[in-house]
Amino acid sequence: MLESYVKNRVDVKKPRKEGRTYVIDKLQGLDKENFEALAPFIDAVKIYGVLPLLLSESVLQKKIKFYQDLGVKVSTGSTISEYMVSENAFDKFVGDAARVGFNIIEIGENGIDLTFEQKKKLTDTILARNLDFQWKVGKKDPRHQISIDATIAKVEEAVKLGSDKVVLEANEGFSVGIYDEKGAVRWNAVGALTAKYPPTTFIFEAPLEHQQSALIAEFGQRVNLAEIHIDAVSSIESQRRGFPSKASFGVSYLRKDPEGGPAAKFVYFIIKSKHPIDQVELMEMSRLPRRTVQSAVEDLKSQGLIIERSSLDDARKKMYAPVQSVWL
């Protein structure tokens, strides 16, 4: 219907490399007819927590087959993987997961700490069963969060291990990972991650609708999102195609003014007016010393007003752009 008015979708056919949507199955009520209609927009379903251990094998297989018949892959969660590692039963778990039909094993370090060699052994076990794996980075407990530097180090390990995408932990969406205590995106954290790796490296867990809207507004339809409730799939796909959502209407797009001295405010004005822009261009346009520009950039990053990314032409060069929406 009205096809010419709908924005084209990147990777419209599955398996998609970019713009993936991962929903979560918590045994909530499911309208099978509606799911069939939404299936083209869903890349994978994660069966929550240790539910695979609680369901009978026949029920689990039936559930997995339902999703796969609609072209949707099925993943375990990282909780069950960690539990099996701690029980020294990971090999058996992977074998059983392959037998019942899972496509993806998600692995994390929420409650355990693994060396790179241990991680390599786990991934080799998964690959030997012809399954895919994805590493999740971060802690669920808001009281025990890891630093950005530690997050980047773990992402680097996951990339070295060959993880197709790296999942960023969000838990319930508050005070965890890239989200603050109100559930707002901490853009300085996102900027630090995407300065090191392209945004498409990550699958951002975004359980709240305004988080989904903020990430799509910033990164466009190519952003990968997870921990999505089935009821939010149509809204996410609409936004990927260029249509606003109800979450968008409930949020102010007005930016807050930068705090700090005149240099930071001037540099912010230049970045807003001409972006993406590198540090050399900022110095030339502002006529400010390098150290002053560097200090202003760091100040704006810490306020979550700008994002630093590697240049597509030269990975050594850092480019700066304003956050598309502060979502106050």
Q: Is residue 211 part of a domain?
A: yes
Contact assessment for residue 279 and residue 294, using Cβ atoms and an 8 Å cutoff: yes
Q: Is residue 49 part of a domain?
A: yes
Q: Is residue 220 part of a domain?
A: yes
Cβ neighbours for 186, distance < 8 A, ≥ 6 positions apart? 178, 179, 180, 304
Q: Is residue 257 part of a domain?
A: no
pLDDT tens digits, one per residue of 44-74: 999 998 888 888 999 999 999 999 999 999 9
Residue 105 and residue 51 in one domain: yes
Residue 113 and residue 241 in one domain: yes
- Tell me which of 222, 250, 278 is where a domain ends: 250
Please state the pTM of the whole predicted model.
0.78
State mean pLDDT over 29-38.
Answer: 85
Residue 58 and residue 37 in one domain: yes
End-to-end Cα distance, the chain: 35
Domain count, the chain: 2
Residue 156 and residue 285 in one domain: no
| Structural domain of 97 | 2-250
- Tell me which of 208, 224, 250 is where a domain ends: 250
Residue 190 and residue 214 in one domain: yes
Residue 128 pLDDT class (50, 70, 90 cuts): very high
CATH number for 69: 3.20.20.70
Residue 201 and residue 173 in one domain: yes
Q: Is residue 327 part of a domain?
A: no
pLDDT tens digits, one per residue of 223-281: 999 999 998 999 999 888 887 665 554 444 444 677 888 888 899 989 988 888 998 99
Residue 68 and residue 206 in one domain: yes
Helix (H) or strand (E) holding 82: helix 78-86
With a pLDDT cut of 90, the percent of the chain lying above it is: 58
Q: Is residue 256 part of a domain?
A: no
**Which phi-psi region, left, alpha or beta, contains residue 34 (left: φ > 0; alpha: ψ -120 to 50)?**
alpha
pLDDT tens digits, one per residue of 186-225: 888 898 898 888 899 999 999 999 899 989 988 888 999 9
- Tell me which of 196, 226, 250 is where a domain ends: 250
Q: Is residue 328 part of a domain?
A: no
Cβ neighbours for 196, distance < 8 A, ≥ 6 positions apart? 152, 155, 156, 310
Helices (H), 142-240: 148-160, 187-196, 209-219, 233-240
Cα separation, 297 vs 324, in Å, equals: 17
Residue 183 and residue 318 in one domain: no
* Identity of the amino acid at 156: E
Residue 17 and residue 147 in one domain: yes
Residue 131 pLDDT class (50, 70, 90 cuts): very high
Mean pLDDT across the chain: 88
Residue 17 and residue 165 in one domain: yes
Give 4 or 44, the one with higher predicted confidence. 44
Cα separation, 275 vs 293, in Å, equals: 15
Local structure of 146: helix, strand or coil: coil
With a pLDDT cut of 70, the percent of the chain lying above it is: 92
